Amino acid sequence: MADQSQPYTIVVGVSGTSKSPTALHWAAELAALRGGRVVAVRAWRPTVPQTASRVNPAPLIEDLATVEAQHLADLQADVAEVLGADHGVEVRLVHGGRRTALLAAAQHADLLVIDAPRKLDLTNLPGFAQRLVYSAPCPVVVMPPRVSGAPRTPLERVASTVVRNVGEAAGRAGRAGLSHPQPPA
């Protein structure tokens, strides 16, 4: 848990794609009620150029500081876009993968808030949010997709259409008055 001499601290994981608007708004409102602060965090690690050979060690980006500064500026812009220019949120770029970065940032926090990841990744079971909840040093709030207002993915749209059609077909099967058309005699 967090140090009692520090203000109530809420760490928010901010996605580079969705910008986590629901998580940011919810955390900012709670911090205002508790007289606390919000720390917006995004994981970052240098990427290997795509032309890198697998035989030789891949060269890293030459000016790492410039690339890191750009990622930090992107995070600041994303938070400002969601909460407004005078948001008062601390932004922090943390080196490492998503889970590692969030756990490190939440080490001295009172609460960790994330938007639930939207993509269906069956190779990564149990899910990211569940693994984060079980290893976090503080309570975790996960904003489910329906709460966050995120649009349904194409896979979710197709699945709901298939389920609806199968349900309708099963409901009509073998019921009097709903017979299949007969060919003319």
* Helix spans in 16-62 (H): 21-34
pLDDT at 95: 87
Of residues 73 and 153, the one with the higher pLDDT is: 73
Of residues 109 and 160, the one with the higher pLDDT is: 109
Half-sphere exposure (CA, 13 Å, Cβ side) for 148?
Answer: 24
pLDDT at 63: 73
Q: Which residues pair with 10 in a beta bridge?
A: 38, 111
Question: CA-CA distance, 101 to 93, in Å (whole number)?
Answer: 9
* Helix spans in 8-63 (H): 21-34
Q: What residue ranges define each of the domains in the chain, with the CATH number in brackets?
A: 9-172 (3.40.50.620)
pLDDT at 58 over 80: no
pTM exceeds 0.95, yes or no: no
Tell me the DSSP string of 112-138. Answer: EEEEPP-S--TTSPSPHHHHHHHH-SS
Give the tens place of pLDDT for each residue, 75-130.
Answer: 899 899 888 888 889 999 888 888 899 999 999 999 999 987 665 555 445 677 88
